[in-house]
Amino acid sequence: MKKLLLTFLAGFFLIGTSLSAGAAEPGDELPAKVIAAESWEPTPGTPEEEIIWEFLLNKEKELDISSGELRNQLRIIKKETHPKAGTVHYKLKQYIHDIPVYGAEQTIHINKKGKITCLLGNLLPSQHQSFLPEEAKPQISPTDAIQVAQKDAENQIGNIGKPATDPKADIYVYLHQGKAWLVYMTEMNTIDPKPFRTRYFINAKDGSIVNKYSLLEQATGTGTGVLGDTKTFETKQVGAQFQLYDTTRGNGIKTYTALNSYFLPGFLVTSRNNNNWTDAAAVDAHAYAEKVYDFYKHKFNRDSLDGEGMQIKSTVHLGLNYNNAFWNGEQIAYGDGDGVNFRAFSSDLGVIGHELTHGVTQYTANLEYRNEPGALNESISDIMGNSIKNKGWLIGEDVSVKGEAFRSMQDPTRYDQPDSYEDLYTGPFDNGGVHINSGINNKAFYLLAEGGTHRGVTVSGIGRDEAVEIYYHALTHYLTPYANFSTMRVAAIQAAKDLFGDDSNEAKSVNKAYDAVGVQ
């Protein structure tokens, strides 16, 4: 079978594009920490938050932070409870001289019995923690850093027009190539003169570029959609006009048209007949965005992408015959396709679910878009998008004029993805294989949901509904920006225990699913 050279990206589809700005450097991430509480018991009568610190002090050797530095370096930044599971989840962040360490977040979990179960996350190794206070003082300003990034971006794409988001520069301690750097992290995010979103790490001492990588890889009216199906959706009447503006969900769902330009968000789609919406691409984008919102609301009680009612914006007709779609951190945009290989990219519910789930990930685990964390980022978007569509195990088949899928969760190797960790791609292409290696976690999810025997390991399926609940719980409570496949395994097992019990068949099946794909 002929395979389409197209892959879902974090907010983009890739068709034969240079990845020089997105080449990942394996080994760049902070070391992972997975610490089980096992038989550890807190001092009786200790308040819940103090139990966290008592546990951390008990594990100082594993954490590689001295007891005297624990409270200076680690700070609790979030606490969440899960009523159904009866669990409590804390998120912490590491600081050096009051400067956050990029990606150094940890999660600690307390079960319904009040016992800590585990710590997951990443920390800056002790040999890089010896920053002197004077070394933690930047020599350039945030504005200087933004100007460095803008100059580099304009060297690549020409003069930048209006940014999709106003750039800002935040100070971090950043581990790169075995060295801790004081950097400003900033992003250049624009579609003028062409879609471009790159994250920059600028040396706060001399303004040089320490690292950069692309986040946009060159990867109740009625109406008829691209595939000819009639859809019903919410609109808003303003005078004699109707707008593709749903005011019933969160802070609204709006659908715009770019009129084949590169302008976001564009113009709100309107009609004088609420029952005859003729813009098929806009009909699909609007109706499917509503379905994605409803999936997260009804299944997880999540109010939009950020959990706080964030307005969902979609723009159709981006560019002329544009063969891509992307999430830019603020909204989703769709090209119309060339009509030969691809139709309008808003025509597939799974695609829209995939892209909008990047927004959910952005507001929860915020998985780094490189190497193993990036592969998990892509896989979770596949898992949620495929589950929202709930029609087989192929991904993206409705976008292709010829009906070819882009990926298979049942058989990743059919589309040149590995289905086992032993075949992990470790090269620099594709941000370290974020779309290549996503097949490993996709296969684990498929086995968990459907069951089956893979590489000699038999997994008992638990059903898609229960499986997707486990992965959502793991995403929102356990994973941190630098999570790897081993962390994903622990997170999914622990999520299953939270939701279904320590000795549940669901937890046992998660364990077997990751055995089957070689993740330990």
Instruction: Read off the CATH number of the domain in which 258 is found.
Output: 3.10.170.10
- Amino acid at the residue 332: I
Q: Say if residue 342 is in the same domain as residue 233.
A: yes
The DSSP 8-state label assigned to residue 191 in this structure reads: -
Return the pLDDT at 220. 53
In a domain, 354, yes or no: no
Residues known to be catalytic: 355, 435
Inside any domain, residue 362:
no
Radius of gyration of the chain (CA): 23
Closest to 506 measured CA to CA, from 474, 475, 462, 465: 462
Tell me, what's the pLDDT at 214?
Answer: 87
306: enclosing H helix or E strand: none
* pLDDT for position 9: 37
Range of the domain at 470: 373-516
* pLDDT on residue 259: 97
Q: Do 231 and 330 fall into the same domain?
A: yes
Residues 15-38: what's their mean pLDDT? Answer: 58
Confidence of residue 195 (pLDDT cuts 50, 70, 90): confident
Distance in angstroms (rounded) separating the CA atoms of residues 15 and 323: 8
Q: What is the mean pLDDT of residues 392-401?
A: 93
- Top pLDDT among 215 and 445 is at 445
Report the CATH number that the domain containing residue 419 is assigned in CATH. 1.10.390.10
Q: What pLDDT, in 10s, does the model give residues 445-487?
A: 999 999 999 999 999 999 999 999 999 999 999 999 999 999 9
How far, in Å, CA of 50 to CA of 58, rounded?
Answer: 12
Residue 107 pLDDT level (bands cut at 50, 70, 90): very high
**Is residue 450 included in any domain, yes or no?**
yes
Residue 82 — very low, low, confident or very high, per pLDDT cuts 50/70/90?
very high
Structure confidence at residue 250 (pLDDT): 96
Domain presence at residue 5: no
Instruction: For residues 292 and 395, give the distance between their C-alpha atoms in angstroms, rounded to a whole number.
Output: 16
Clarify whether residues 264 and 382 are in a common domain.
Answer: no
Q: How confident is the model at residue 233 (pLDDT cuts 50, 70, 90)?
A: confident
Assigned domain for 449 exists: yes
CA distance 110 to 51: 10
Q: What is the DSSP letter of 400?
A: B
pLDDT band at 28 (very low <50, low <70, confident <90, very high): low
The answer to whether 23 and 229 are in contact (CB under 8 A) is no
- Do 140 and 167 belong together in one domain? yes
Query: Residue 223: is its pLDDT beyond 70?
Result: no
Helix crossing, 371-389 with 485-500: angle to 10°? 40
Residue finishing a domain among 214, 245, 264: 214
Do strands 312-316 and 253-257 pair parallel, antiparallel, or not at all (unpaired)? parallel
pLDDT value at 433 more than 60 = yes
DSSP category for residue 30: P
Residue given tokens 């927004």 in the structure block: 359
Threshold 0.75, pTM exceeds: yes
Whether 387 and 505 map to the same domain: the answer is yes
Assess whether pLDDT exceeds 90 at residue 249.
yes
Query: How many independent structural domains does the chain possess?
Result: 4
* pLDDT at position 81: 93
3-state percent breakdown (helix, strand, coil) of the chain, nearest 5: 30, 25, 45
- Mean pLDDT over each residue of the chain, to the nearest integer: 90
Asked whether the beta carbons of 107 and 120 are under 8 A apart, the reply is: yes
User: Residue 355 domain-assigned?
Assistant: no
203 with 225, same domain: the answer is no
- Say if residues 271 and 277 touch (Cβ distance below 8 Å): yes
pLDDT digits (tens, 9 = 90+) for 358-383: 999 999 999 999 999 999 999 999 99
Peptide bond before residue 265 is cis, with ω within 30 degrees of 0: yes
- Determine, yes or no, domain membership for 359: no
How much is the average pLDDT of 23-31? 59
Quick one: 143 and 86 in the same domain? no
Residues 411 and 443 in one domain: yes
Closest CA to 391 of 348, 344, 452: 348
User: Do 311 and 411 belong together in one domain?
Assistant: no
What DSSP string describes 112-150? TTS-EEEEEEE---GGG----GGGGS-SS-HHHHHHHHH
15 found inside a domain: no
> What CA–CA distance (Å, rounded) separates 348 from 400?
10
* CB contact set of 130 (below 8 Å; sequence gap of 6+): none
| Collapsed DSSP state (helix, strand, coil) of residue 256 | strand
Distance of alpha carbon 89 from alpha carbon 278, whole angstroms: 47
pLDDT of residue 221: 59
- Same domain, yes or no, for 269 and 341? yes
- Band of pLDDT at residue 126, cut at 50, 70 and 90: confident
Q: What is the pLDDT of residue 7?
A: 36
pLDDT higher at 286 or 406: 286
| Position 218 confidence tier, pLDDT thresholds 50, 70, 90 | very low
379 shares its domain with 512: yes
